[in-house]
Structure 1
Amino acid sequence: MEKLIACQQKSPNALCRLICFPWAGGGTSHLARWSSHFSNSVEVFCVRFPGRETRSKDPFAKDMTSMAKEIASVLLKELQAKPFAFFGHSFGSYLSFAVALHLKEKYGLEPFHLFLSAAHAPTVSYRIINSMKQNDDEEIIAYIQTLGGTPAELLCREDLKKDVVRTVREDFRVLQTFSFEKAEINSPFSCDITCFNGSEDTLHHLQAWQELTSGETSFYELPGGHFYLLEPSNEIFLIKHITRCIENAGL
């Protein structure tokens, strides 16, 4: 499990776990650090995607379904042991939803809360970057720079830039295999859902997330662009809100 999951602060006596899913091209460094912001009652796991960090030699995932099944399989024992919540940003939101759906369908498990950031509801048609030439490195770099969030030094060195472009391309390819038809399942979840979005980010269709649960759905817009969550003040808001939701869950 250590290869796929980053856990900077183990809390064996925690009441619940928060499983974090990074964005396309992202690693575990930022979200794994969230463990220092929570009390010992919350153990924070961050999912490490193939093709980076300690999984740099692992082949990239082929599609969203196989990726979700791998994560669910590795985490299953921990998720059966105590309550859990998911937090995902952008690509991580879609992946966390896919994992949650697989857990519900196959094992009857579901998170007590889904925290989803910068992501359209999966029932809404959306375009990722259909017009992007998948072999055009410069176009991918331009897109990355438009979104922000990637340290400039990673795009200045040719060796690092090549790795960033390849990783983002592979994650986008996985994202384009993701599909969900609500007609197949009526209100798949009963948990609460919270949706976050940056005020200067692309407009995301968030309202339809409430169609996917019989629980409550809430929406928050925070100042900033696609990577608004990297701003310290926004990060504090996210942590406080997640903490409050966990406390109110009555675990």
Structure 2
Amino acid sequence: MTTTGSTRRARWFTTSGADPNAGHQVFLFPHAGGTAPAYQAWGATLPSTMEVRTLQLPGRQERFDEQPFTDVEPLLDALQEAFEAELDGRPYVLFGHSFGGMLAYRLAVAAAWNGLPAPALLAVSSWAPGLGWAAELAQVATMSDDQLLDRVAQLGLLTEGTALDPATLASIMPAIRADFLAAGSLQEDGEPAPCPVAAYGGTSDPIVPPDALSVWAEHTTDFLGTTEFNAGHFHLFDHAAALQHSLERQVRKLRARV
């Protein structure tokens, strides 16, 4: 049976309801191991001028029976096809956190390569090109579940020493491990983002301090600067309202340029 465009869109991106009157489409890309429901509230709290669509990768929740990608190139190929099917001619914004920031950046680059309209804004949280994590991420293949959970806890997603029951471990570990491996497989090429870029970071982020995000100035001709929040790697959960307000403000300022 041939997979239709509507089926593909329903599987890769979730939305609380398409709003054809919204001025912008906003695509959200979760962190490694993340799921679409983690960002579900954004659709209700962002202004009505923004229609939110959130990525749901294979290997989690309703896509649990699908094998997660462990190599970034085939992942990006499949994601690009699904993403392009979502575009409807409206201006669009890409927002990604950590691993999701990498995916959002590479989709923006692919849009330029393929002659598609560039994003109105690429907003990236706790990720930037060339920060040299590949060696550490590649070690994930040899880590035990406990070691990998400890590393996730160090980033602030879990309380250190958290003990999970076997069923929960079996449901989350394949996606976490796969996403870390996919992130580590990225071959950096220094390609510039074809659009304005805004960066977001946590002041106590153990792997991406906000000053490291200034490297974005070398990867776009229109760097809008870094917004810092008093939090760690997952600052976007503690400061969701402020981050969303910043996104809206950036979009309004960019629209006023036209």
Structure 1 residue 219 corresponds to structure 2 residue 226: yes
Post-superposition offset of 1:203: 4.6
Amino acid at match of 1:67: L
Partner of 2:197: 193
Q: Encode CA deviations 1:37-78: one digit per residue, 9 max, x unaligned.
A: 122221000010110121111111142122222222112143
Q: Encode CA deviations 1:94-142: one digit per residue, 9 max, x unaligned.
A: 11111111121113332111111111x2134334444556341110111
- Closer/same/farther in 2, CA of residues 167 and 77 from structure 1, 3 Å limit: closer
Partner of 1:39: 47
Partner of 1:96: 104
For residue 158 of structure 1, the aligned residue among 152, 166, 177 is 166
Structure 1 residue 240 corresponds to structure 2 residue 245: yes
Post-superposition offset of 1:156: 2.5
Does structure 2 retain, via aligned residues, the 8 Å contact 1:11–1:43? yes
d(CA) in 1 for partners of 2:198 and 2:99?
Answer: 16
d(CA) in 1 for partners of 2:83 and 2:207?
Answer: 33
- Closer/same/farther in 2, CA of residues 39 and 124 from structure 1, 3 Å limit: closer
Normalization by structure 1: what TM-score?
0.89
- Closer/same/farther in 2, CA of residues 39 and 25 from structure 1, 3 Å limit: same
Does structure 2 retain, via aligned residues, the 8 Å contact 1:85–1:111? yes
Normalization by structure 2: what TM-score?
0.87
Post-superposition offset of 1:24: 0.4
Q: Which structure 1 residue ranges, 5 or more long, are not aligned?
A: none
Alignment: residue pair count: 244
Percent identity, aligned pairs only, is 21
- Closer/same/farther in 2, CA of residues 246 and 155 from structure 1, 3 Å limit: farther
Q: Secondary structure at the match of 1:9?
A: coil
Q: Secondary structure at the match of 1:107?
A: coil
Does structure 2 retain, via aligned residues, the 8 Å contact 1:114–1:193? yes
- Closer/same/farther in 2, CA of residues 239 and 131 from structure 1, 3 Å limit: same
d(CA) in 2 for partners of 1:131 and 1:71?
Answer: 25
For residue 2 of structure 1, the aligned residue among 7, 10, 16 is 10
Post-superposition offset of 1:155: 4.5
Q: Encode CA deviations 1:153-207: one digit per residue, 9 max, x unaligned.
A: x94221102322222111111111112212xx4x441x21111111111252211
- Closer/same/farther in 2, CA of residues 78 and 55 from structure 1, 3 Å limit: same
Amino acid at match of 2:206: T
What is the RMSD of the two structures over their aligned residues, measured on CA atoms? 2.2
Q: Secondary structure at the match of 2:11?
A: coil
Amino acid at match of 2:24: C
Amino acid at match of 1:200: S
Q: Secondary structure at the match of 2:52?
A: strand
- Closer/same/farther in 2, CA of residues 95 and 176 from structure 1, 3 Å limit: same
